[in-house]
């Protein structure tokens, strides 16, 4: 993987990680177009640059992250289901990650959901912000587990979960961002641990790619988050629904046409 390819993947990560469009699906398309040779380091890179995206949330909402112990406790409650389900179904998830068709189908179906989410969860379109409770955090955490199926999108699952709990579009999106911090941090640490435990090495060139990738993902994610919150607060999720349908349909069509798409 070249430096230019690393930068492109980091831009894709920053743009799509917090939008309900599946960063995995876009990574597949991007890596396929660029012809990136898949190896264990490339897989690690696509996870490790999430750290930059994590820092973007903390930078934008730093006051929230230092407000109270109650805030962290609710994040912990929402985070636990992903840990439990991840440990129980790791092998199954790994198998699904090898199937690009699953990504395409999940993107397509998720797009249909977003076309009608404002109608299915009308409480989420209210102008008032309802308080986050431990029960709501737990339910959203369960919704997040759906994102273990590639193509569902962690952001999409948690936003839909939040809206079903009566949160406004903005509040549901922001809690999705907050919940991403422990979830993605845990995934990053585990991926690095597994890579090193399996005998992988990290060279000076690798460290350069990590540094550049995380900086790019950080900057791009800040722009994406600000734009996303402003857009959905006014216009809802229908545009993302149509976009998911288009991208999902493209992946399905490429798969049926016999185009090889390597999973990250």
Per residue in 11-42, pLDDT (tens digit) is 999 999 899 998 877 887 788 788 887 778 88
Structure tokens at 62: 């730093």
Structure tokens at 134: 């431990």
d(CA 197, CA 210): 19
pLDDT at 89 over 80: no
Hey, what's the torsion of the CAs at 118, 120, 121, 123, to 10 degrees?
A: 80
* pTM of the predicted structure, to 2 decimals: 0.85
Contact 1, 36 (CB under 8 A): yes
Percent of the chain as helix, strand, coil, to the nearest 5: 80, 0, 20
Instruction: Give mean pLDDT, residues 69-91.
Output: 87
**Beta-carbon count within 10 A of 82 CB:** 22
pLDDT at 46 over 80: yes
Structure tokens at 142: 């369960």
Domain residue spans in the chain? Answer: 3-256
The closest alpha carbon to 74, from 152, 159, 178, belongs to 178
Contact 213, 48 (CB under 8 A): yes
pLDDT at 84 over 60: yes
| 24 or 74, higher pLDDT | 74
pLDDT at 221 over 80: yes
Length of the chain: 264
d(CA 241, CA 108): 8
pLDDT at 254 over 70: yes
d(CA 261, CA 258): 9
pLDDT at 247 over 50: yes
Contact 30, 109 (CB under 8 A): no
The tens digit of pLDDT for each residue in 111-131 reads: 999 998 877 776 555 555 567
């Amino acid at each position: 993987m070249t430096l230019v390819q690393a930068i492109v993947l980091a831009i894709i990560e920053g743009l799509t990680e917090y939008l309900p469009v599946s960063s995995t699906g876009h990574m597949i398309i991007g890596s396929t177009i660029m012809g990136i040779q898949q190896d264990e380091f490339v897989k690690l890179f696509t996870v490790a640059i999430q750290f930059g995206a994590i820092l973007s949330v903390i930078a934008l909402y730093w006051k929230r992250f230092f407000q109270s112990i109650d805030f962290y406790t609710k994040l912990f409650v929402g985070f636990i289901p992903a840990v439990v389900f991840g440990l129980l179904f790791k092998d199954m998830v790994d198998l699904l990650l090898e199937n690009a068709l699953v990504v395409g189908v999940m993107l397509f179906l998720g797009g249909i959901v977003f076309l009608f989410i404002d109608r299915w969860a009308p409480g989420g379109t209210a102008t008032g912000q309802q308080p986050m409770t431990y029960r709501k955090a737990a339910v959203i955490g369960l919704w997040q587990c759906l994102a273990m199926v590639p193509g569902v999108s962690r952001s999409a699952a948690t936003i839909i979960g939040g809206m079903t709990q009566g949160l406004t579009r903005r509040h549901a999106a922001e809690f999705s961002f907050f919940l991403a911090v422990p979830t993605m941090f845990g995934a990053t640490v585990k991926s690095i641990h597994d890579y090193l435990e399996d005998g992988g090495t990290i060279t000076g060139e690798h460290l350069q790619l990590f540094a550049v990738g995380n900086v790019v993902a950080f900057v791009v994610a800040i722009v994406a988050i600000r734009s996303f919150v402003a857009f959905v607060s006014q216009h809802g999720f229908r545009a993302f629904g149509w976009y998911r349908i288009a991208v999902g349909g493209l992946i399905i069509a490429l798969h049926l046409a016999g185009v090889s798409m390597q999973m990250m």
